[in-house]
Amino acid sequence: MANKTIKIEILRYRPEQEDKPSPQLFEVPYSPDLTILEALQYIKDHLDSTISFRWSCRMAICGSCGLMVDGVPKLGCKTFLRDYFPNKIKLEALANFPIERDLVVVMDDFINKLEEIKPYIIPEDNTKCLSDGPHQQTPEKLAKYKQYSMCINCGLCYAACPQYALDTKFTGPAALALLARYNRDSRDAGSKQRMKIVNQEEGVWGCTFVGYCSVVCPKGVDPAAAIQLLKVESSKDYLIGMFKPD
Amino acid sequence: MNNNNEKKYIRSHEPVFWGLFGAGGTLTAFMTPVMILITGILVPIGLFGEGKFNYQQIHQFATSWYGAAIILILVALPLWHTFHRIFHGLHDLGVKQGRDWQQVICYGSAFAVTIFVLTLLLQMIAA
């Protein structure tokens, strides 16, 4: 009976005992149905309880367990050991974010950007009364934004984005995709406020359409498409602004 | 947090250059392979347009208003596309020094050649 194992190298960082991150090798029992997240849990339970990583739902809904697997941004819960076996797997904290501890990153910048784009429906003034019933939407109106509403804020697209890597002032893929989600919603009237963010250099114009954000997105949101569509909107806004400055 | 002083949003002028970049890119993608095929391969080996690509014919085309317009667009737009790409490519390569000058040189070159071609074509038409 051959007990197969797989080697997992984790980039560790414990700020109280080391100045910079260093790799540590673990060997865990291999099974084709194990995910990276389950392997991490095995390590924490049986090999080294000091290892830190974020997780919650185990089913690609919460967006907590983002990490770099062999240099590619992935969700730990959605990535299986079988796709790497028998090779060694290298795990690192999500790229482009400061490391807080081991595989845990500081996401403050990303969260601030999400807040900045006003990720909620801004109704028109003189909006209708509650007693008038719900806002009706046709399937076509829903289809305009639905895809961009699937984001789980895991941050994989920020780890993938070479422009965010060069300059963290860039608003970035997920925040801009979510911005598009609200601007494209027929119930929303906040486009004018949000276009100010879009029109900046750090808005959509920081993007050079590399498209890697859409490749790594675990939910098929396609932030790159959202940003290119926003570039068209921003260009229209620019033309209108030439004749009608506000 | 510090929302007391409202953030100032500065509009980017990128739409102008992005527009020229997009138009130039589309032209380059669709027209350049065709032009290379015709003028670089088919005409020289005599498979296409026999006798139609002599100096007189081309000169006649270039000195007509529509011909001049087509040539100007075919030269200028891909040029704006190229220099825009170089400008952003320098940023991607991490060349941080003198972004202002990079911009002046890149877009300035595209502008200068556009004006040069325009002047040349107008002179040919006037002559």
Q: Is A76 on the interface with B (CB under 8 A)?
A: no
Q: Do A231 and B11 touch (CB under 8 A)?
A: no
Q: Do A201 and B10 touch (CB under 8 A)?
A: yes
Q: Is A203 on the interface with B (CB under 8 A)?
A: yes
Task: Tell the CATH superfamily of the A108-243 domain.
Answer: Alpha-helical ferredoxin (1.10.1060.10)
A contact test, residue of B2, B7, B11 with most A CBs within 10 A: B11
Q: Is A111 on the interface with B (CB under 8 A)?
A: no
A-chain residues near B19 (CB < 8 A): 235
A-chain residues near B92 (CB < 8 A): 162, 166, 208
Q: What is the pLDDT of residues B49-64, one digit of tens each?
A: 777 788 888 899 999 9
Query: Where do the structural domains in chain A lie, given as residue ranges?
Result: 5-105, 108-243
How much of chain B exceeds pLDDT 70, in percent? 96
Would you list the DSSP string of chain A?
----EEEEEEEE--TTT-SS-EEEEEEEE--TT-BHHHHHHHIIIII-TT-----S-SSSSS---EEEETTEEEEGGG-BGGGTTTS-EEEEPPTTS-EEETTEE--HHHHHHHHHT--S--PPTTPPPGGG-PPP--HHHHHTTGGGGG-----HHHHH-HHHHH-TTS--HHHHHHHHHHHT-TT---HHHHHHHHTBTTTGGG-----HHHHH-TT---HHHHHHHHHHHHHHHHHHHHHS--
pLDDT value at position A2?
66
Q: What is the CATH number of domain A5-105?
A: 3.10.20.30
Which ipTM was obtained for this model? 0.81
User: pLDDT per position in chain A (246 positions), as tens?
Assistant: 468 999 999 999 999 999 999 999 999 999 999 999 999 999 999 999 999 999 999 999 999 999 999 999 999 999 999 999 999 999 999 999 999 999 999 999 999 999 999 999 998 877 778 888 888 899 999 999 999 999 999 999 999 999 999 999 999 999 999 999 999 999 999 999 999 999 999 999 999 999 999 999 999 999 999 999 999 999 999 999 888 876
Chain B residue with the nearest C-alpha to that of A162: B92
